[in-house]
Chains A and B, each alone.
Chain A
Amino acid sequence: DQQVKQNSPSLSVQEGRISILNCDYTNSMFDYFLWYKKYPAEGPTFLISISSIKDKNEDGRFTVFLNKSAKHLSLHIVPSQPGDSAVYFCAAMRKNFGNEKLTFGTGTRLTIIP
């Protein structure tokens, strides 16, 4: 039972344009969401997070939007750069319940075309 889903295995975007990566979840108890970026032969690195009390969080070129009613979050990268080419994972947890387990999505491979 995949509680966190990334339905697009891959995405190609022209350099300078906006990249939008999507993530859906089924567990309404999730209250904290994170995005990780992973380059080949490296471990994932934290990118940005959002609490369920917010609907938007911004950090430089990266913005995460959360739609709780739709159980959907998205990561926007503007403008996209070649160094953004990587696999992106969304993850969710029940932080306020003291549950320290992270549930990851399946990942989306983003390719930025120069």
Chain B
Amino acid sequence: EAQVTQNPRYLITVTGKKLTVTCSQNMNHEYMSWYRQDPGLGLRQIYYSMNVEVTDKGDVPEGYKVSRKEKRNFPLILESPSPNQTSLYFCASSFGLRGDWDTQYFGPGTRLTVL
């Protein structure tokens, strides 16, 4: 089954404690992306990756890091989480390089709370 998986689905942590949210896709997609969803602000892109070892900033990259060492994985790293990073996070993937945007798949989301 084609899917994007994220772990963990729920996480409560404290300010400053480094954390990683994993994202994995099984569709051999080149393009992967991270979004956060906040009330009244919709979905905002954090980082995206066009392929292995190619990453670029989205609209709200501050406080986040990503890496793309393998095609299937695109972890989101919060080196020093702060309360304003409390949000619902989505990972997505698609054949972006082929312009195949109509097949962008989203993961189920990770709800993060930073105390």
Verify that A and B bind, or say they do not: yes
Chain B facing A: main interface SS:
strand
In the bound complex, how far is the Cα of B72 from the Cα of A89, in angstroms?
26
Q: Which of A36, A100, A107 contacts B50 (CB 8 A)?
A: A100
A interface bracket (residues with beta carbon within 8 Å of B)? 20 to 34
Q: Is the CB of B109 within 8 A of A43?
A: yes
Chain A 7-38 interface mask (CB, 8 Å, partner B; 1/0): 00100000000000000000000001010100
Interface window among B14-22, B41-49, B73-81: B41-49
In the bound complex, how far is the Cα of B42 from the Cα of A4, in angstroms?
10
Chain B 40-68 interface mask (CB, 8 Å, partner A; 1/0): 11111100101000000011000000000
Given A104-B43, A106-B41, verify A43-B92 contact (CB < 8 Å). Answer: yes
In the bound complex, how far is the Cα of B61 from the Cα of A16, in angstroms?
43
Q: Is the CB of A105 within 8 A of B104?
A: no
Give the residue name and chain of the A residue nearest to B97 (CB). Answer: A100
Contact of A52 with B by CB under 8 A: no
Interface centre among A34, A100, A104, A106 (most CB of B within 10 A): A100
In the bound complex, how far is the Cα of B45 from the Cα of A107, in angstroms?
15
CB-CB under 8 A from A103, the residues of chain B are 45, 59
Q: Which of B35, B59, B92, B99 contacts A95 (CB 8 A)?
A: B99
CB-contacts of B2-51 with A (<8 A): 4, 31, 33, 35, 40-45, 48, 50
Residues in A lying within 8 Å of B, measured CB to CB: 4, 6, 9, 32, 34, 36, 41-46, 49, 89, 91, 93, 95, 100-107
Q: Which 3 A-B pairs have the closest CB atoms?
A: A43-B106, A106-B42, A104-B43
A42-B108, A44-B106, A101-B58 given; 12 more Cβ-contact pairs under 8 Å:
A42-B109, A43-B106, A43-B108, A44-B43, A46-B104, A49-B102, A89-B42, A100-B50, A100-B96, A104-B44, A106-B40, A106-B41
